[in-house]
Amino acid sequence: MMQDRGHLMTEGRNERSMSIDLMSIEEGFDVMNTEDATIPTAVARAKNEIVEAIKLVVTAFKNGGRLIYVGAGTSGRLGVVDASECPPTFLSDPEMVQGIIAGGREAMFRSIEAAEDSPENGARAMDERKVGPRDVVFGIATGGTTPFVHGAITRARQLGAKTVFFACVPQKQCGDDADVSIRVLVGPEVITGSTRLKAGTATKLVLNSVTTLAMVQIGKVYQNLMVDMNSSACNKLVDRATRIIMKITGTDRPTAAKLLQDACGRVKTAIVMHFRKVDRETAERLLNEHDGKVRAVMATAAAD
């Protein structure tokens, strides 16, 4: 029997947009913009749960585990996008953060709505990825009910993984059995049920926080600079890497470019080479000894 989802917050009607079909474009924009402005506050209310989720991810990364997003539709696409952006931003192994979308690769580009209805397929995806105790599985279901996601979470727990569940409805409307449950209550959408809007934006904000702060904790950032990045990917990133080295070392552009070249394109290595006056191999050894954290290496230099 088909489930009635009419009681869910994400399915409610937004009184402020009831006449959007009669509004001018300018008026419609104001309604959407006003609604979007409420999202950061809703995210902030879920701070404690978001922080707990980040701690789980940091532990997983430090133990060689993975963060695996699971979702359907917009939720699945946002997980895949966040995962795909980690390697170029943080030089992370592509296996470290992964995104699973119900319906597979094709569903990234064309909606396959029925794919979300199978909890068995969600469970099977966990088996296919060989999920285990070192991993964190992060289910994204803004409306809270997606069977594919719940199936994945249940199976991941059986396999010993830590689990996180994200939704934009309160627990009393739709529960979960994850280790951490993040509920960002953005309220009814401007267009009823279209969770690609406020709920989608809230999802993006939360996922940004999870991966960014986890990567910071494992040494991928120095100050607020991306010192672990794929500087050889394109000219833009070579330029960014060179400027980062210039800012941290105080050298001119030619010197920074030479440091980057001698470090085989690795910004962190170049910085350590400069401050410790060592070759690339020694710089990389020092970074390995200090969990890849530039500040820790610099602190030992100050103590010497």
218-250 residue pLDDT tens: 999 999 999 998 777 688 889 999 999 999 999
Q: Which pLDDT score is estimated for 1? A: 47
- Which residues are bridge partners to 136 per DSSP? 67, 162
Question: Residue 119: which CATH number?
Answer: 3.40.50.10490
Q: For residue 251, is it within any domain?
A: yes
Domain end, chosen from 197, 217, 237, is at 217
Q: Which pLDDT score is estimated for 302? A: 60
225 and 189 in a common domain? no
Q: Which pLDDT score is estimated for 299? A: 85
pLDDT digits (tens, 9 = 90+) for 277-290: 999 999 999 999 99
15 and 153 in a common domain? yes
Q: Which two tokens stand for residue 57?
A: 């991810």
Q: Which pLDDT score is estimated for 107? A: 87
From the list 189, 228, 237, the residue with the least C-alpha distance to 11 is: 189
What is the CA angle 226-232-236, rounded to 5?
70
82 and 211 in a common domain? yes
Q: What are the Cα distances from residue 73, in Å, to 21, 80, 175, 188, 195?
A: 26, 11, 20, 18, 10
Q: Which pLDDT score is estimated for 301? A: 66
- Which residues are bridge partners to 138 per DSSP? 69, 164
Q: For residue 3, is it within any domain?
A: no
Q: For residue 14, is it within any domain?
A: yes
The catalytic residue positions are 85, 116
Say how many C-beta atoms besides its own lie within 10 A of residue 97's C-beta. 28
Q: For residue 293, is it within any domain?
A: yes
List the domain range (segments joined by +) for residue 233. Answer: 221-303
pTM above 0.75, yes or no: yes
Q: Which pLDDT score is estimated for 77? A: 96
Per-residue pLDDT of the chain (304 residues; tens, 9 = 90+): 456 666 888 888 988 999 999 999 999 999 999 999 999 999 999 999 999 999 999 999 999 999 999 999 999 999 999 999 999 899 999 999 999 999 988 888 888 777 788 999 999 999 999 999 999 999 999 999 999 999 999 999 999 999 999 999 999 999 999 999 999 999 999 999 899 999 999 999 999 999 999 999 999 999 999 999 877 768 888 999 999 999 999 999 999 999 999 999 999 999 999 999 999 999 999 999 999 999 999 887 665 5
Tell me how far apart the alpha carbons of residues 268 and 272 are, in angstroms, rounded to a whole number. 6
84 and 102 in a common domain? yes
Q: Which pLDDT score is estimated for 86? A: 95
Tell me how far apart the alpha carbons of residues 124 and 245 are, in angstroms, rounded to a whole number. 45
Q: How many domains does the chain have?
A: 2
137 and 188 in a common domain? yes
